[in-house]
Every structure is written in structure tokens, then in C-alpha cells.
Amino acid sequence: MGRYLLRRLLQLVPVFIGTTFLIYWLVWAVPGDPFAGKCGERRCPDQYIAFMTEKYHLDQNVFVQYANYMKNLLQGDFGQTFSQREISDIILTSYPNTLKLAVVALAIEAVIGLGAGVLSGLRRNGFLDNLVLVSTLFLIALPVFVVGFVLQWLLGVQWGIIKPTVSSEMRWSELIVPGFVLGSASVAYIARVARTSIAENRRADYVRTAIAKGLPMRRVVGVHLLRNSLIPVVTLLGTDLGALMGGAIVTEGIFGINGIGRQVFRAIITKESATVVGIVVVLVLVYLVMNLLVDLLYAALDPRIRYE
Amino acid sequence: MRVSKRATSAIALSAAAALVASGCSSGDGDGDAAASKDGSIVVHGVQPENPLVPSNTTETGGGKIIDWLFTGLVEYPNDGGAPRNALAESINTTDSKVFTIKIKAGTKFHDGTEVKSKNFVDAWNWAAYSPNGAQNGTFFADIAGFDKTYTSDPDGPDGPQKAPAPTAEKLSGLKIIDDQTFEVTLAAPTAVFPTKLGYSAFMPLPDVFFTMKPEEFGRKPIANGPVKFVSWEDNSLIKLTRFDDYNLRDKMKVKDVDVKLYQDDNAAYADLLANNLDFMEVVPTSALAGDKWKTDLGDRGRSTVTPSTAFIAFPIYDKRFQNPKLRRAVSLAVNRQEISDKIFFGTRKPADSWANPLTPGAKPGNCTACKFDPATAKTLLAEAGGFSGEMVFYYNADSAHKDWMDAVAQQVKTNLNINARAEGVPTFAVFRQNINAHKMTGPYRAAWQQDYPDVENWVNPLFVTNGSSNDGLYSSTEVDALAKQASGAPSLEASHEAFAKAVEKVDQDVPSIPVYFYGQQSGHSEKIKKLELNNVGEIDITSVEL
């Protein structure tokens, strides 16, 4: 177990360097001069451009820039944006918001998705199963921004049940609707996967044995069936956290949440490699750690799986 | 000019708005004084790009907040009329070259220190010193000694050489006489100089600014206006509150102003509809289609005109566009009224003059090339020897310009039989890069929002050789001479008359074509009973009553 963990952690290093360089280089290769559009319909004073170029080493080639950046990063310095704000500040203010939103989305996915999946898996081809099938199809078919705008307009503007946007305090209660919007497509997938998994295991020998032993149905489903059927669902949920955080830009935009999506978008447009990489570095870490956690969870869920 | 970040676009849709005709107050009568007194409002904002230092702010997100925080020597009245003294007691000159500026005694910065003449002189010297890299540094070019403090890079910013260090740290044209008086000597007579003093680059800075890093000051600015800074949460909220010691003009009637920083205009619009946001300067384009905003907002919406103009500029450095007859033919082939009606639902007005008519000194209707006259256009094109090849109209595709640029190209194609089409350049940055490098191969969209209300600002930067925004490299010795004479005229009236002559010459050469005047559609919540917009269409927060 310990060696397995160490091996996995060591794998993070090349992945980390590879992704950061690739992203740094891609942003660097975005066409356009970062200061060409900054002063509107008038070119920026040469002095301003010279001042910024020198300050951010923009006259160096991309490898030198990246090496400089990594050197500072390893010392804990994320650098500054072109507006002279500390990138670490941006990360510290915007990450918790996106994480909060993603966690709410994940919770909604787990509760609704798993609930619907289990119910429809147990009563296959019943009314409930068909209802879940149709409604999940509907959710998958709708793009996030449609769900977002419709709910915002209906609940926020027409009926006045919620505020159309989230306040800067980011209260949990305000995040329920945005969280549902963000997680809506995944809810459907979770429900589908859970249903299939439950339906399959329902016919497994150990379930038949458990029923034959005379265990109450609640225990058969809750302990024996569910635990073994959770593996594909946990995989989906675990990797989804990273996807939700990276993909939250649309939801964040609709509900006015100050998260990482907007920051990354802005930074790409203004060619601020350092900001993009800084934010993505953390996102890469989230992905890697979540993947690792999921793998470790397998062992807990299924005693047959052991790591050497 | 300030650039709007909205849709990462070039111009400032949020520009300017002189409500000349309406007198701009909302029709609901007066507010309730008691409700206003401790009331607070939430207004729409955009995260400022830079720390809030006046001489380093060139975009509307930060510019709006700078305008509220600071009061300058002169201010521009909400009705768009001639500037009047604000912090200045008097600005005297006999020759438009040496100005003696006396400021009112006993006004305070938000940290309690008094505003003295040295706060102006030091602030201007700081911005004019090129190693400080202030974006608005060139605004001080009129003042004597600027060439010593502000040096240029001999081979441009991309070249290997660096700009030589300036030989002076201070502008020789600025002299402090006493705490309330200072003298400004310009390099050449400039009648419009006092008008410029209301622009944000000329604001005073408190002593404490010079003891700290500009970016630290800009995160927690100390100013001298009717409202003072409280806190700034990036991308989320800027809190401002009434400055009770303000004695230059009306104090604010409401107490707190929260500037909610939105990423998305549609989110802000939803908040506005739900009365969760009290003022939105420009409703999103999506709400303009079919006059949706009018049905949504009813009497909470208002439509105003703003002193900004959309142009199509010619790259005159390209041989194919050097014949004025060809340029005039293209201009006459554009049906501006149709573009205004069909594409903008009447929210933009067809352009018929060179300077925006809301600007003091502008002559309405002086653009003879702005008529729609396809017959004359065809004749002129024939006289110019026709146009061979493809005429491509360029625009930046990251903002809503496709529709009207397509329409212009289509009209040129239909009316002149030129093989014309419109093409989008992906981002504003790439678009501007090509324009700055003089590499455009066809006419392109441009827009101009005045920095300060005077016709001078519509001629010198745009049409004079080496003007700061003369990107098409138009050059006419006649226009240069007339504009120079106009700039140095002893009075504003004489200056305006002389500029009118320069514009007549511009009208014959058609270096660019005015297409439409911008309009602005804003909305407010039910809570606000009275409000005015300032000359550039921003909410005047001192006027708000609940």
C-alpha cells in the first residue's frame, strides 16, 4: 500500500511539469500582442509597453520565460498579472468559490443521481425506471447554459424565489440552484451508471445467497448490493470534481460567481501565461489527487482489490 | 480614451451621454429625503484592470470609479455643456500659454489632509516621468519640459535599444506659487488646455501616494471626491461610502454605494429585472432586439445619446485607398439610416457630422460625405478609375460588429459593384496589433469616444499628421496648418471657428467615414426615485435619491 502510494505520488511530477509547460507554451502562442488592445483605439505609449515588457521579461523566449516562472513557482511565488495583482491572491479568492460550487454540484449529483439510479435499478422497466430514463435523457440533451438561463429567469426573475445572482458572501443556500445547473448533466450519467450496476449485481450469486439467508431487503440492498455497485459511480464522481471545477465557467458567468473559469478566460485573452498556469496547476493537482483517492477507495469498497 | 472591457471590445459602449434635451432626470419626481439619507444602492461595475491610480486608468471599469472618487480642477456638467470650475477657484491666462491656477482653500482628501497646489504638481510630474510607465503619461505633452521628462524609445518598444533615461525628473512648466496657487507654462499656446483639466489624468494625489508603491495605493485609493473608498474584493464587490467632509458641490444623498463587479452582462440584467441591482449603465445587446428592454423595464429604462462615434477608417498607407474620390464614393454608398433602423433598432443614430454633435464646438451636419447618394458614388468611382480586386472590411469578431460591418460591405457591393465583403479578426488585441503596425489591407472599423468635451479632441488625435489615433496615416498639410492655428487660438470661440475650417478640408478628403453615433440604454431599480447621468453616461452618484 505504502509503495503503491509513493509510486503514484512520484508519477505526479512528470505529469505536473508536462502539463504546465504545455499550457505555458499554448498561452504564449495565442496570437496578439498583450498591450495592443489595452489602450483602446489608440496605441499605448511606448514607455508603458517598454516598462511592462521589461517587468514581465516578455522579450525573452518562451523557454527562458517558463524556466523563470517555474523557478519562482517552486519558491512559492505565483507571480503577478499584467495589472500588477498577485496571482496567489486571485487563486486564493477564486478557488474556494469554484470549489464550493463544485462540491454542491457533486453532492446534488450523488444524492439525486444515486437515489434515482438505485430506485430504477431495483424496479427495472417499471414506471419509475421509465420516468428516470426520460428525465435523464432530457437533462443530457439540454446544454448547461439553457438549464442555467431558464432556471435563473423562472426562479429568479419571474417567481422571485431566489436572487438571480449569487452574492459575494457565497452562502451555501444560494449555491443550490447554480450547483444543480452545474451538475445537471452529470446527475443523469450517475443515475444511468448506478442503475445498470445495480441491475447487474441484483442477479449476482451473493445477492441471491443474502436473500436466501433471509436477510431483510433493506440490508441486502444497503450493505451487499449497493457497496459492490458503487465502484463505477465513485469513479465517475471522483473524476467529475475536477471536470466540474474546470467546466464551471458557464455556470459562474450566468450566476455571477467569482470563480476560476472567468479568471482563466480573461487571462487567455490577455495572454497572461502566468495566471493561466497558476490556476491550472492547482486544477491539475485536484485531478491527480482525486484520481488517486478514487483508486484507494476501490479497496475500501471491494475487499477483493488490494494494492501492493 | 477609455476602452470598455465589455465583451473585450474596443469602444466604450458605455461611453458618454449628454442628455442635452431631456435634462436627464428621471421622471418620478423627487425622492424621500429620509430614505435617501441612510440608504444604499448597488450599481453595475466591471473589475478594474489596473490598481486605481487616475493617471494609469484607461478603461471604463476603473475609470468610472475614479470619476466618482476624485474631483478635479474643472468638471463637465451632466448636460454636456462647457466645463466649469470645480476645485479651481480660477484659471487665468492672457495668452493661452501661461495659466495661473488658483484652487479653493479648505477642501480635503479622504485621509483628512488638505488639497494643496503641490498635490497637483507632484501628481502631474509623477505621470509625466516616463520610467513610471503611466498609461496616461502623454496627456501632459502640452506642458513645457515634457520632452525632458518623457523620453521615447528610438526604435520602438520592440527594438533592441532602450529609451534613454529622462534628463529631468520634473516638468519645467509647473511652478508652485503658494499652497493654493500654481502656474502652468505650456510649450505652445493651447486654448483647450483648461477643458482637459477635468480628465482623470489631471486629478490631484494625496501626499501619501508618493510614500508608497502606486499599485498599493491603487488597491486602497485616497481621493478627494464626494464618495470615499471602503474596500475592494476582486471580481466581486467594491464598496464606497459618502465623504461627509465634501464641500465642493452637493454631498451624496445616499450613504453607501456598492459596485457589484459582474463578469456577464446578462447576469447583471437578470439582477436588474429582479430589483437586485439598482443601476445598469448599458443593458446587454440581447435585450435590445425587438425592444425587449422596453417591455422588460417600462419606465425604469431610459435611452440617451452619447458623444461617441463609430467610423470606418481607410488604411491610407495602402496605395489602393489613396484617391479621395474613391474614399468619398465608398462613403456615399453607405445607407446609414438603414443600418440604424434595421440593425440597431434605432438605438444608434446615423452619423452626419465629423465630430460628435454633442461635443462643444462641433458643427452638426458638416459631413457632406455622409449622405446616401449611390448615383454620385458611381460617378466618383468611375472618375477614380474604379477599384480592382477585393475590398475587405475588417472588424474585431470578439464584439458585436459583424452585423453592421456585413451590411456596410453588402451596400458597397450592391451600390458600387465592388467585390466587397466583411471579415472578422478574432480578437481586439490582434486587430489593434495590425492597425498599430499599419498592416491593414482594407477599411476597418474604429470608434472614438472623447476624452474631454471639445471639438479639438475630434480633430488633433484623428486627422493631424502623427496624431495619437491617426492610424490610417492620413496627412494633409492644409489640415495640419489649420488645426495648429486652431489649437493655439487665443480663445475657445476662435479655436472652434478655426477647427470648423480644418474639418471642412477633412470633409473633402474623407480619411475615414463616420457611420453612426452611439446611444445608450440604461435601466434602474424601482427603489431609485431620481437619478442623473453625467456627460459620459455614467450614473452621477451625487444625484441619486431613493
pLDDT tens per residue across span B483-503: 999 998 888 889 999 999 999
Q: Which residues contact A264 (CB under 8 A, 6 or more apart)?
A: A249, A275, A276, A279, A280
Q: Using CB atoms within 10 Å of the CB of residue B20, give its burial: 0 to 12 exposed, 13 to 18 middle, 19+ buried.
A: middle
> What are the chain B neighbours of A42 within 8 Å (beta carbons)?
1, 461, 468-469
In eight-state DSSP terms, residue B166 is P
> SS3 of B416, please?
helix
Q: Of all residues in chain A, what percent carry a pLDDT higher than 90?
A: 14
Q: Nearest by CB to B264, which of A38, A254, A269? A: A254
Distance CA A169, CA A173 (A): 11
Asked whether residue A96 carries a pLDDT value surpassing 70, the answer given is yes
Binning pLDDT at 50, 70 and 90, where does residue B144 land? very high
This prediction has a pTM of 0.80
Distance CA B79, CA B496 (A): 19
Of the listed ranges B6-20, B274-288, B323-337, the least confidently predicted one is B6-20
Dihedral-angle region of residue B235 (phi above 0 means left; psi in -120 to 50 means alpha; beta otherwise): left
Asked whether residue B15 carries a pLDDT value surpassing 50, the answer given is no
* The pLDDT of residue B463: 94
Q: What is the pLDDT of residues B64-106, one digit of tens each?
A: 999 999 999 999 998 888 899 999 999 999 888 999 999 999 9
* The pLDDT of residue B391: 95
Q: How far is CA B45 from CA B61, B259, B302, B390, in A?
A: 6, 6, 18, 42
Across the range B203-226, mean pLDDT stands at 94
Subunit contact B427:A269, Cβ cutoff 8 A:
yes
* The pLDDT of residue A34: 77
Subunit contact B133:A47, Cβ cutoff 8 A:
yes
Subunit contact B267:A153, Cβ cutoff 8 A:
no
State phi, psi for A180 to the nearest 5 degrees. -65, -45
Binning pLDDT at 50, 70 and 90, where does residue A261 land? confident
Q: β-strands B174-178, B539-545: how paired?
A: unpaired
> What are the chain B neighbours of A39 within 8 Å (beta carbons)?
3, 58, 135
* The pLDDT of residue A202: 86
Subunit contact A41:B215, Cβ cutoff 8 A:
no
Report the chain B residue with the minimal C-alpha distance to residue A263.
Answer: B235
Subunit contact A39:B429, Cβ cutoff 8 A:
no
> What are the chain A neighbours of B526 within 8 Å (beta carbons)?
none
Subunit contact B50:A49, Cβ cutoff 8 A:
no
Size of interface A-B (CB pairs under 8 A): 168
Asked whether residue B24 carries a pLDDT value surpassing 60, the answer given is no
Asked whether residue B243 carries a pLDDT value surpassing 60, the answer given is yes
More confident residue, A242 or B368: B368
**Which residue, chain included where needed, has cell 472591457?**
B5
Subunit contact A47:B151, Cβ cutoff 8 A:
yes
Report the chain A residue with the minimal C-alpha distance to residue B11.
Answer: A40
> What are the chain A neighbours of B8 within 8 Å (beta carbons)?
37, 269
Binning pLDDT at 50, 70 and 90, where does residue A180 land? very high
Binning pLDDT at 50, 70 and 90, where does residue B236 land? confident
Subunit contact A41:B446, Cβ cutoff 8 A:
yes
Q: β-strands B227-233, B444-449: how paired?
A: unpaired
Q: What is the mean pLDDT of chain B?
A: 87
**Cβ–Cβ under 8 Å, residues B134 and B181:** no
**CB burial string B428-442: b at 16+ within 10 A, e below:** bbbbbbbbbeeebeb
Q: What is the pLDDT of residues B192-202, one digit of tens each?
A: 999 999 999 99
**Cβ–Cβ under 8 Å, residues A179 and A107:** yes
Across the range A126-149, mean pLDDT stands at 88
Distance from CA of B174 to the nearest CA of A (A): 22
**CB burial string A185-208: b at 16+ within 10 A, e below:** bbbbbbbbbbbebbbebbeeeebe
* The pLDDT of residue A162: 86
* The pLDDT of residue B27: 41
Distance from CA of B449 to the nearest CA of A (A): 9
Q: Which three cell numbers stand for residue B407?
A: 451590411
In eight-state DSSP terms, residue B470 is -
Q: Which residues contact B425 (CB under 8 A, 6 or more apart)?
A: B394, B395, B396, B397, B431, B434
Subunit contact B11:A40, Cβ cutoff 8 A:
yes
Q: Which helix (H) or strand (E) holds A60?
A: none
* The pLDDT of residue B2: 54
Nearest to B381 by CA among B405, B428, B416: B416
Asked whether residue A37 carries a pLDDT value surpassing 80, the answer given is no
Asked whether residue B268 carries a pLDDT value surpassing 50, the answer given is yes
Binning pLDDT at 50, 70 and 90, where does residue B406 land? very high
Nearest to B242 by CA among B69, B432, B495, B64: B69
Subunit contact A83:B51, Cβ cutoff 8 A:
yes
Asked whether residue B16 carries a pLDDT value surpassing 70, the answer given is no
Distance CA A129, CA A127 (A): 5
> What are the chain B neighbours of A149 within 8 Å (beta carbons)?
266
Report the chain A residue with the minimal C-alpha distance to residue B471.
Answer: A42
Q: Nearest by CB to A254, which of B2, B233, B267? A: B267
Q: How far, in whole angstroms, is CA A294 from its chain's centroid?
A: 15
Nearest to B309 by CA among B80, B513, B60, B510: B513
Asked whether residue B31 carries a pLDDT value surpassing 80, the answer given is no
Distance from CA of B28 to the nearest CA of A (A): 24
Subunit contact B431:A254, Cβ cutoff 8 A:
no
Asked whether residue B511 carries a pLDDT value surpassing 90, the answer given is yes
> SS3 of B258, please?
strand
Binning pLDDT at 50, 70 and 90, where does residue B12 land? very low
Subunit contact B8:A90, Cβ cutoff 8 A:
no
Report the chain B residue with the minimal C-alpha distance to residue A168.
Answer: B236
Q: How far is CA B518 from CA B8, B409, B497, in A?
A: 17, 20, 25
* The pLDDT of residue B17: 33
Q: Which of B50, B135, B258 to mutate to test the interface with A (most CBs of A within 10 A)?
A: B135
Distance CA B538, CA B15 (A): 8
Across the range B407-434, mean pLDDT stands at 91
**Which residue, chain included where needed, has cell 524556466?**
A67
* Residue B421, strand partner residues: B392
More confident residue, B215 or B11: B215
**Cβ–Cβ under 8 Å, residues B365 and B503:** no
Across the range A205-232, mean pLDDT stands at 87
Q: Nearest by CB to A256, which of B1, B152, B262? A: B262
Asked whether residue B187 carries a pLDDT value surpassing 80, the answer given is yes
Q: Which residues contact B432 (CB under 8 A, 6 or more apart)?
A: A33, A36, A37, A41, A43, B10, B396
Q: At what angle do helices B324-332 and B402-416 cross, to 10 degrees?
A: 110
**Which residue, chain included where needed, has cell 452621477?**
B540
